[in-house]
């Protein structure tokens, strides 16, 4: 069958978690389903090497839709109307508005991934316009899709709670993504990155990677770091906050200055994939105090390179981390500070977390995720 995929999130210079999910799940689908043909709907050409590892130059048809605004609701909608595939997969929430019409739904059966509904759990942590768009887009997808893929059991329950009236819905299924592999880097790239961020002196540091925005709970992390530093006998330790500025992030620097932490807190700004790989591989620990995550890729990235993790005990993070992370209440500054102390000071626990992290990774696979998506597409096709 012809499977159409909204691959618009698979391109771009700066790839966040959603974009990297799109790339990985598309790659896995092409690899495990050679019996099917694929139409990839794109804003721009996919990089040349993307298809080569999957030996799928045959049966894969890129379709460039050149539209700057309303790409989904006008550009993609028109392409689907003109040449409908047998089934459609949308890796990130949003179906075209035209799918509200029952005729469109009957013509193309769909599978949509919903990554999280954190904007409903923590509405103040999102800009109002973004919150409205996410809410409407998710409502449309859940209303119209034949199968809804949730990254975690927490997301599945939230989708049913907020968009399904709380009633059991077997259309909503869990498919855990796999880990995101880190870039391979040369020794000169390592030196360059560590020097760039002032870490070339071998200072031990705890790392957080992610867009600087209220949902990431970084103000409390900075407050916890202030307590940790005050109780520590070392001036060498650093807190490294890697990520570009997001909505509501402008007061974080002021928080650091007010606490007198300028010497021990490093803001890197946006980091490349190579720089992120260097920072992760050389970190003493990874801390993830987010208020809400639909999945939590950074937990697996840290475990992949043998870095112990401390993270929130809320949303999907305990589900993803398993028994391989030190959990804390993200609303409790003192609890975060104690977790930092433990990660720096308890060598036995560090070793146990690192080993548990390696075992935990075995639960996650892109091929398994893709098989669940493919089963959903096949079910949708059977309904045609």
* Mean pLDDT, all residues of the chain: 90
Each residue's pLDDT tens digit, 152-164 = 999 999 999 999 8
Mean pLDDT throughout 96-113?
82
Residue 184 CA, chain-centre distance (Å), reads: 20
Each residue's pLDDT tens digit, 21-53 = 999 999 999 999 999 999 999 998 876 566 555
pLDDT for position 57: 61
Q: Which residue has the higher pLDDT, 79 or 234?
A: 79
Q: What separation in angstroms does the CA of 266 have from each of 6, 178, 207, 245, 273?
A: 37, 29, 10, 14, 18
CA distance 180 to 292: 20
pLDDT for position 100: 86
pLDDT-wise least confident of 15-29, 49-63, 263-277, 298-312: 49-63
Mean pLDDT throughout 345-356?
95
Each residue's pLDDT tens digit, 178-213 = 999 999 999 999 999 999 999 998 899 999 999 898
CA atoms within a 13 Å half-sphere pointing along the CA-CB vector of 318: 9
pTM above 0.85, yes or no: yes
Q: 167 falls in which pLDDT band (50, 70, 90)?
A: low
Each residue's pLDDT tens digit, 246-259 = 776 568 999 999 99
Q: 127 falls in which pLDDT band (50, 70, 90)?
A: confident
pLDDT for position 384: 45
CATH of range 187-363; options 3.40.50.620, 1.10.238.10, 3.40.50.1820, 3.40.50.2000: 3.40.50.2000
Length of the chain as a residue count: 384
**Which three-class secondary structure string do you get for the chain?**
CEEEEECHHHCCCCCCHHHHHHHHHHHHHHHHCCCCEEEEEECCCCCCCCCHHHCCCCCEEEEECCCCCCHHHHHHHHHHHHCCCCEEEECCCCCCHHHHCHHHHHHCEEEEEECCCHHHHCHHHCCHHHHHHHHHHHHHHHHHCCEEEECCHHHHHHHHHHHCCCCCCCCEEECCCCCCCCCCCCHHHHHHHHHHCCCCCCCCEEEEECCECHHHCHHHHHHHHHHHHHCCCCCCCEEEEECCECCCCCCHHHHHHHCCCCCCEEEEECCCHHHHHHHHHCCCEEEECCCCCCCCHHHHHHHHCCCCEEEECCCCHHHHHCCCCEEECCCCHHHHHHHHHHHHHCHHHHHHHHHHHHHHHHHCCHHHHHHHHHHHHHHHHHCC
CATH of range 2-178+365-382; options 4.10.95.10, 3.40.190.10, 3.90.1530.10, 3.40.50.2000: 3.40.50.2000
In degrees and rounded to multiples of 5, residue 26 shows phi and psi of: -65, -45
Q: 233 falls in which pLDDT band (50, 70, 90)?
A: confident
Q: 169 falls in which pLDDT band (50, 70, 90)?
A: confident
Closest CA to 70 of 98, 92, 89: 98
Mean pLDDT throughout 120-129?
86
Mean pLDDT throughout 100-127?
84
Q: Where are the domains of the chain?
A: 2-178+365-382, 187-363
């Amino acid at each position: 069958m012809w499977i159409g995929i909204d691959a618009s999130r698979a391109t771009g210079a700066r790839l966040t978690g959603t974009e990297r999910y799109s790339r990985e799940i598309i790659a896995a689908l092409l690899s495990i389903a050679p019996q099917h043909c694929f139409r990839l709907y794109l804003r721009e050409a996919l990089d040349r090497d993307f298809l080569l590892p999957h030996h799928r130059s045959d049966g894969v048809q890129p379709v460039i839709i050149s539209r700057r605004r309303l790409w989904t609701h006008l550009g993609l909608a028109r392409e689907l109307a003109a040449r409908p595939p047998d089934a459609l997969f949308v890796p990130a929430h949003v179906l075209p508005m035209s799918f509200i019409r029952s005729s469109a739904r009957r013509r193309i059966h769909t599978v949509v991934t919903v990554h999280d509904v954190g904007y409903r759990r923590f509405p103040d942590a999102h800009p109002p316009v973004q919150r409205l768009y996410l809410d409407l887009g998710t409502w449309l997808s859940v209303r119209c899709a034949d199968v809804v893929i949730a990254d975690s059991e927490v997301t599945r329950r939230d989708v049913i709670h907020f968009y399904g009236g709380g009633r059991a819905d077997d259309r909503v299924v869990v498919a855990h993504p796999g880990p995101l592999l880190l870039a391979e880097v040369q020794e000169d790239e390592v030196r360059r990155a560590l020097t760039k961020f002032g870490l070339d002196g071998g200072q031990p540091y705890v790392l957080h990677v992610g867009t600087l925005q209220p949902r990431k709970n970084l103000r409390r992390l900075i407050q916890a770091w202030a307590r940790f530093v005050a109780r520590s006998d070392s001036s060498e330790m650093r807190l490294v906050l890697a990520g570009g500025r997001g909505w509501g992030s402008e007061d974080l620097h002021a928080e650091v200055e007010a606490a007198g932490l300028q010497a021990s807190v490093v803001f890197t700004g946006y980091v490349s994939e190579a720089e992120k790989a260097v920072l992760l591989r050389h970190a003493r620990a990874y801390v993830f105090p987010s208020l809400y995550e639909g999945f939590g890729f950074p937990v697996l990235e840290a475990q992949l390179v043998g870095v112990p993790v401390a993270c929130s005990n809320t949303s999907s993070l305990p589900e993803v981390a398993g028994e391989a992370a030190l959990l804390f209440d993200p609303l409790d500054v003192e609890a975060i500070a104690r977790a930092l102390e433990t990660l720096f000071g308890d060598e036995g626990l560090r070793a146990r977390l690192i080993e548990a992290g390696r075992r935990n990774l075995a639960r996650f696979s892109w091929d398994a995720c893709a098989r669940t998506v493919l089963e959903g597409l096949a079910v949708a096709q059977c309904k045609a």
